[in-house]
Structure 1
Amino acid sequence: NDFSENATTLMDDHPKKLELIYVPNEGYNFLSAQIGGTAAEKIKTAVSEKVTETYAETMFDKVSKLADGVKQASDGAGKL
């Protein structure tokens, strides 16, 4: 699963699910694995928030461009 590649599909008709996989090596050091698990959750939350923010900004930009296009069409129709 390629997180970066799938992230580019957010605006597609059929976006792919974003998935980060964290696999701790608990046999190496249990405490490190526990700390790493907490860090992984924080990273997951931060990435999720950033993806949502980027998606919202992109959608807002598209809606703004659409509104500009509708205004231009309205102005053009008024001139006819």
Structure 2
Amino acid sequence: MRIRAAEEPQPGVKWIDEGGARMKFLEVDDNTIDVNCDTWASCEDELHARHLFIRWAQFACCWSQGMMASKMIN
């Protein structure tokens, strides 16, 4: 994760000024959990929005892989 205050000025970096994320977990049964993830942000243009969508999709994939790996350990 990058923090704007800790970074040197970089003209090519576009920061999200407004936005958020929410994850909801619903236990369906003893072996199944339904995960719902919502994200929102104000974007400068369509290209910026597409980039953020890809980053959030990457986060969701990494998170789900971590969850599956922890289930295999148990």
* Higher Rg: 1
Which AA in structure 2 matches 1:45? C
- Is 1:32 the counterpart of 2:56? The answer is no
Q: Residues of 1 paired with 2:57 and 2:32: CA distance?
A: 23
RMSD: 2.8
Instruction: Considering Cα pairs closer than 8 Å and 6+ residues apart, tell me whether 1 or 2 has the greater RCO.
Output: 2
Instruction: Give the structure with the higher percent strand.
Output: 2
TM-score scaled by structure 1? Answer: 0.48
Matched ranges for 1:65-76 at <5 A? none
Q: Which of 38, 57, 61 is 1:45 aligned to?
A: 61
Bigger helix fraction:
1
The offset of 1:32, in angstroms, is 2.2
Structure 2 unmatched runs, 5+: 1-21
Identical aligned residues as a percent: 10
Q: How many residues were matched structurally? A: 52
Q: Output the CA distance in 2 between the equivalents of 1:42 and 1:48.
A: 10
1:55-74 correspondence runs (5 A): 55-58=71-74
Three-state SS of the structure 2 residue aligned to 1:16 is strand
